[in-house]
Amino acid sequence: MALRLFEGFGVELEYMLVHADSLDVLPATDQVILAVAGDFIAEVERGTLAWSNELVNHVIELKTNGPAAQLRGLDEVFARDVVEILGLLRPLGGRLMPTAAHPWMDPARETTLWTHEEYNEVYEAFDRIFGVRGHGWANPQCVHLNIPFYGDAEFARLHAAMRLLLPIIPAIAASSPILDGRLTGLMDSRMHFYRENTKKIPSITGKVIPEPVYSKREYEETILGRMYADIAPHDPEETLRDEWLNARGAIARFDRSAIEIRIIDIQECPTADFAIMHAITCVLRALVEERWQPAERQQGFDTDALNAVLLDTTRHAEEAAIHDAGYLAAFGLHASPVKAGELWQHLVETVVAPDADFSDSWSSAIRIILDEGTLARRIARAVTAERPAAPARTGLERDALHRVYGTLCDCLKWNRGFHATP
């Protein structure tokens, strides 16, 4: 049975496996799957959820086993499976680390690809064409949120809404301020490297913000067709000729009649992830229902202008200043400039908090973000607490990083929020 807009949700959360003591990368996803499946398979069903491998053997993905009717309650299901995986990792000397990037991983030295049968040829093709031993490929953990549509009319409304919302997602979800043991100067370092992953073939990622196309035929001609043509000389076997090759911030999955958002950094615990996904869903629903502007006007927003906002939130997250009055008006604000965090405060007050599914635990998680900053901001504050005047690119002490990220691992284990050291 085909699902209509917001009648179901597909959720994927990615976590990194690390050594319990050192917190260094632990390539043991295959051992976790072997322990429950008895074989090195790519995916194992675990009731409501499924566990699967990713490109590298130090990342595991937990995902809904088919569309879920609602988001509410799923955070508890994901948290339960996190605890189960932690139990499987204990004999291996491992644990799970949240956030969108490991703070001191050296991808060139530590990357281990998934090497077992299914999908192996896909991963080898990615590595051969793009070289995956870098931060954008081997050191990213994110959330994927799939929202269904039915036919071109629903696709057009949802795609227009997503194009508008994508630029401010880092302002609520950024969680990757540190790479190579240093503050990068970006709140969403994962997003920066995500842009660079396929620069050899620019049409695969585009400008991250999707082009303004609003039918299946136009999408296939404008986006997918060009992408397939551009990669063909590098992929004569057509191993990568699939919709999932598309690396924009939201991609159309016509094979499942859904649009998948790929721009959300993973948080410190499932409750925080689902609070953010619920907020995103509420705002998308308001846009689709034309709460502030008609659909035709939403569809006319320029890709370059939207990309400019995304570049600012990638760097500054909630502190990014939005000067585009037309963009702010699309969300019901009629003054500029406005900080991205202030825009989210407005959206939470007007469309998120009033929603009947907005649980107390989600409200608490969103309140931490609005009051204390994005997880990236809290991490940066915590690791520099003893040296608040340190410049952005100064190397950080390993013990400080270990302490903060060990606490984040505990937050994941206990499904609780992270507060920076005052």
Dihedrals phi, psi of 93, to nearest 5 degrees: 75, 30
User: What distance in Å separates the CA atoms of residue 341 and residue 316, rounded to the nearest whole number?
Assistant: 10
Rounded percentage of the chain residues whose pLDDT exceeds 90: 86
Q: Which two tokens stand for residue 318?
A: 């909630």
**156 alpha carbon, distance to own chain's centre:** 23
Show the domain range for 27. 10-414
User: What distance in Å separates the CA atoms of residue 287 and residue 161, rounded to the nearest whole number?
Assistant: 6
Rounded percentage of the chain residues whose pLDDT exceeds 70: 96
Farthest-apart Cα atoms in the chain, separation: 59
CB 346 within 8 A of CB 370: no
pLDDT digits (tens, 9 = 90+) for 302-340: 999 999 999 999 999 999 999 999 999 999 999 889 999
CB 330 within 8 A of CB 379: no
Contacts of 148 (CB under 8 A, 6+ apart): 2, 3, 4, 5, 6, 7, 8, 67, 256, 257, 258
Establish if 3 belongs to a structural domain: no
User: What distance in Å separates the CA atoms of residue 21 and residue 243, rounded to the nearest whole number?
Assistant: 40
User: What distance in Å separates the CA atoms of residue 119 and residue 125, rounded to the nearest whole number?
Assistant: 10
pLDDT at 380: 96
pLDDT digits (tens, 9 = 90+) for 213-230: 999 999 999 999 999 999
Establish if 5 belongs to a structural domain: no
Q: Which two tokens stand for residue 291?
A: 């709460």
User: What distance in Å separates the CA atoms of residue 290 and residue 285, rounded to the nearest whole number?
Assistant: 9
Overall number of domains in the chain: 1
What is the pLDDT confidence band of residue 136, given thresholds at 50, 70 and 90?
A: confident
Counted residue by residue, the chain has a size of 422
**227 alpha carbon, distance to own chain's centre:** 22
Listed in sequence order, the DSSP H helices in 115-224 are: 120-130, 135-138, 151-165, 170-173, 189-196, 216-219
Establish if 2 belongs to a structural domain: no
Rounded mean pLDDT, 360-381 = 97
Q: Which two tokens stand for residue 337?
A: 């400039």
Instruction: Tell me how far apart the terminal alpha carbons of the chain are, to the nearest angstrom.
Output: 51
The model's pTM: 0.96
Q: C-alpha distances in angstroms, 82 versus 14, 97, 409?
A: 11, 11, 11
User: At which residue do the structure tokens 């984040």 appear?
Assistant: 408
pLDDT at 387: 56
Rounded mean pLDDT, 19-34 = 96
Establish if 350 belongs to a structural domain: yes
pLDDT at 390: 47
CB 192 within 8 A of CB 208: no
Establish if 422 belongs to a structural domain: no
Q: Helix 303-316 and helix 340-347: axis angle, to 10°? A: 100
Establish if 420 belongs to a structural domain: no
Q: Which two tokens stand for residue 21?
A: 């003591």
Average pLDDT, the chain: 94
Specify the CATH number for the domain of residue 338.
Answer: 3.30.590.20
Rounded mean pLDDT, 134-156 = 93
User: What distance in Å separates the CA atoms of residue 406 and residue 100, rounded to the nearest whole number?
Assistant: 15
Establish if 4 belongs to a structural domain: no
